[in-house]
Structure 1
Amino acid sequence: MTVKKTKKAVTKFFETKRETFEEIQEASFQRSEKLLVDVLKEKIGTINYPFPPFVPIALAWIFIILFPLAFILDPSFTTSLDMSSRKIIGFYLPLLATALIFFINQKALVRSCIFKKHYVRYFIYNSFLLIALLLLREVALFLTDRSAGEGIAEFFSTYYFSTIKGHFSIRTVISFALMVSFVCVTSVFYNIILRQTLKAFLQREKKNVELQYELDFLKNQLSPHFLFNTLNNISALITIDPKRAEESMAKLSKLLRVMLYQTSDATITIKEDIDILQKYAELEKLRLDESYDLKFNINLEDENFQIAPLIAMPLVENAIKHSVNPDGKSFAHISITQAGNKITFETENSNYPRKAKSNAGGLGLATFKKRLDLLYTSRYTYETDVEGDIYRAKLEIITD
């Protein structure tokens, strides 16, 4: 095998291993991000920072600078030590060097090298940092030991090069190399966790925006659907009873005005929502026979209890719509109970369902169920039951 083929085979081998590593790494990222997204689905309040973002960094540096003073200024500690300039530098230099290397890695090197897969470049840059750190140590020690009249020029001309073996011991180099390595590993993991956390937050915010758009769309579908059915009813009344049709139009106008102003928010009080339901039921009753039995049973513990607007409108609408029996008794009984953080909507009506048109599609109930899934997810139950000529529906919602 020629050198060229060998080089090609080795390159291909390492390329395959690199791709495998990247796939494993990306799969790990995705698992971690999914876990973070699941955690962040819990309700987290918006954090408002009352101070500029540089303040935590400044506080960290102040801590690094002042921390050794707790030992240096302690009499019981300093009496047993020679607190010379060398000792003070021995306290401060590792702390300052660690903070500086971490800052450089966190702000520049990890993002420009590790995340872009320039691993060799990352190693070279940190090697230069290690050399610079050792050089800084030597300069600091020279400045503490120098005699009067010696300046920094003497460091490079005599002190540094003439005593290089004495100052750069294997122990010193290894200890500083281990410190730099530890800081690099910490910085890489810190940036990976930060990256995954930020991506998880962005995913959550994106889903929240999409959810809000979908909720607004579904809520806006209710009004046209309700308006379509009501106008059909009024249209039928015009030829039969023009006076009642006129009265229905006035009630419809009033109801739409209420719906326009009260349902624009994410939630309204249960009292306001029930008021809309009752106005709608009164409007529907105008087209029905006087013998039609329509009742509301309201039992509220807190009239200011918050609920999504018009969430139960399809229940009331279908209870009335499918209860009209021209040849028998027709009724719709609606019960609304609220206690604690739970609210229950129950409807019971005579069962006389209309035949669905081929293009109807059940928009009202489809929208109803979709809104429940989006707003209350696993915090609601919806059940229906048919017993002879009676149809029952029950919706229970548990709010936060």
Structure 2
Amino acid sequence: MYKNKTITILSHLLVWLTLVCLPYLLSYGQEQEFNRVIAHFWIPLVFSAIIFYTNYFVLVDRFLFPKKMVYFIVINTIMIVFFLFLKEYIEDNYIQNIAKKRIENTNRVQPPFKMAIYIQVLSYLAPLFFSIALKSTKRWIKTEAERKEAINFKLKSEIEHLRYQLQPHFFFNSLNNIYALVDISPDQAKKSIHSLSKLMRYMLYETNEESISLSKEIDFMKKYIDLMKLRVSDKTKVNYHFPSEETGVKIAPLLFISLIENAFKHGVSASKSGTIEINMTCNNKKVMFVIENENFPKKIDDKSGSGIGIPNIEKRLELLYPNKNSFKTAVTNNRFVAELEIETN
């Protein structure tokens, strides 16, 4: 912030220094009459600077932006008229050469008085309009920055909400599965609780960042799949394939877990055989995740979960990877297929 302020001050000084030297720059090698430069250039330049900074620091913020146009116009009109008369007064009383030439030239053809006044008024309106334009641009940039900051804050809040929404949903489904093991296999239930504690530790402490390495997410998914396999019968086969080598890819955490949950929730039957196929590939920073399972209808009295899995994924993809994702679901030959592709670069 201090650096930006210094650059702004130096920029203003450079502009005004250039304007002060402009008569000599435009007439390089020619003799300039000093009094004429003072009367016709430097004095109006000082008045222009006063008009510019008065508007820039005071009038635009106090009257123009609050839409007090009458006050703004009246004050600037008074300033411009005052400077017009003040310039004439200074020339007539303090710059003798200009006054003498004006008397000598009274009998010569002179530009119309109205035209001279018109030109001088325009010369004072220029810094006025420039101050308005500069201040308006600065205000727009600030407003735009605040708008983007508000949007980013809103997006982060929504993403956090979705992530915290997913955690209890995941925890509830996992506990529901472990509950089913308590009477059937107490030892497996104990093992499942221990595995769940590791998974919850990952969700609480490892997923606070916007993105994590894909390898960590894969390790989490493998542990979750192994946990879920404890409660399914031999009639359900679970096959999965993930990239075995480090890909160097970073991805938003917990994007795929809901799809795996849904596969174990809707693709498992106690009386019918079925297969869950989970495959992930990673090529050129693109992650492709495909999961297939039998489409067994959910029982009416099954109250597990809350149906937030798929909507949660869709909303997070919309926020995290706009125009960089492809998510499709379909039922083919009584098998549910979900395909999710993400561009991570």
Letter in 2 for 1:246: K
Whether 1:386 aligns to 2:336 is no
Letter aligned with residue 351 of structure 1: N
Contact 1:300 1:337 in 2 (8 A): no
Distance 2:158 2:339 in 1: 25
TM-superposed CA distance for 1:248, in Å, is 0.6
Deviation at 1:221, TM superposition (A): 1.3
- 8 Å Cα contact 2:328/2:338 also seen in 1: yes
Q: What TM-score comes out, normalization by structure 2 length? A: 0.85
Name the counterpart of 1:337: 281
TM-score for the superposition, normalised by structure 1 = 0.74
Q: 2:109 aligns to what?
A: none
Count matched residues: 333
Q: Which residue of 1 aligns with 2:152?
A: 208
Q: Match of 1:262?
A: 206
Listed one character per residue, the Cα deviations across residues 276-307 of structure 1 (whole Å, up to 9, x for unaligned) are 11111111111112453222222378622111
Q: Using the alignment, how far apart are the partners of 1:225 and 1:213 within structure 2?
A: 18
Aligned equivalents of 1:323, 1:191: Cα separation in 2: 63
Query: Which residue, out of 70, 81, 84, partners 1:134?
Result: 84
Greater shift, 301-310 or 264-273, is seen at 301-310
CA contact (8 A) 1:300 1:339 kept: no
Cα offsets for 1:310-360 (capped at 9, x unmatched): 011111111122111223322211111222232111101222232355865
Q: For 2:319 and 2:248, how far apart are their aligned partners in 1? A: 23
Q: Distance in 1 between matches of 2:129 and 2:193?
A: 73
Structure-to-structure mapping, 1:343-358, within 5 angstroms:
343-355=287-299
Q: Distance in 2 between matches of 1:57 and 1:176?
A: 28
Residue 31 of structure 2 is aligned with which of 76, 81, 97? 81
Change (3 A) 1:223 1:356: farther
- Judged with a 3 Å threshold, the aligned counterparts in structure 2 of structure 1 residues 146 and 334 are, in CA distance, closer, same or farther, namely same
Query: What SS is found at the alignment partner of 2:298?
Result: coil
Instruction: Trace 1:184-333 onto structure 2 (pairs within 5 A).
Output: 184-290=128-234, 292-299=236-243, 303-333=247-277
Q: Shift of the alpha carbon at 1:236?
A: 1.2
Residues 268, 306 of structure 1: 8 Å contact kept: yes
Structure 2 vs 1, CA of residues 293 and 93 (structure 1 numbering), >3 Å: closer, same or farther? farther
**Greater Cα offset, 54-63 or 201-210:** 54-63
RMSD: 2.9
SS in 1 for 2:277: strand
Stretches of structure 2 lacking an aligned partner (at least 5 in a row): 107-111
The match for 2:15 among 63, 75, 81 is 63
> Secondary structure of 2:33's match?
coil
Q: 2:210·2:252 contact (CA, 8 Å) conserved in 1?
A: yes
**Conserved? CA contact 1:302–1:338, under 8 Å:** no
Q: What letter is aligned with 1:276?
A: F
Q: Among the aligned pairs, what percent are the same residue? A: 30
| Shift in Å, 1:142 | 5.9
Question: In structure 2, what is the Cα distance between the partners aligned to 1:371 and 1:54?
Answer: 42
Per-residue deviation, residues 51-102 of structure 1 (Å, max 9, x unmatched): 151431333123312444365278xx35433332322553433444333322
* 1:118 alignment partner in structure 2: 68
Contact 2:23 2:37 in 1 (8 A): no
Q: 110-119 vs 382-391, which deviates more?
A: 110-119
Q: What are the residue-to-residue correspondences of 1:39-188 with 2, within 5 Å?
A: 49=1, 51-69=3-21, 72=24, 77-138=27-88, 141=91, 145=95, 169-188=113-132
- 1:53 counterpart SS class: helix
Q: Tell me if the contact between 2:259 and 2:291 (Cα under 8 Å) persists in the aligned partners.
A: yes
Q: 2:315: which partner in 1?
A: 370
Q: Deviations over 1:4-24 (max 9, x none)?
A: xxxxxxxxxxxxxxxxxxxxx
Tell me the secondary structure at the aligned position of residue 392 of structure 1.
strand
Q: CA deviation at 1:192?
A: 3.8
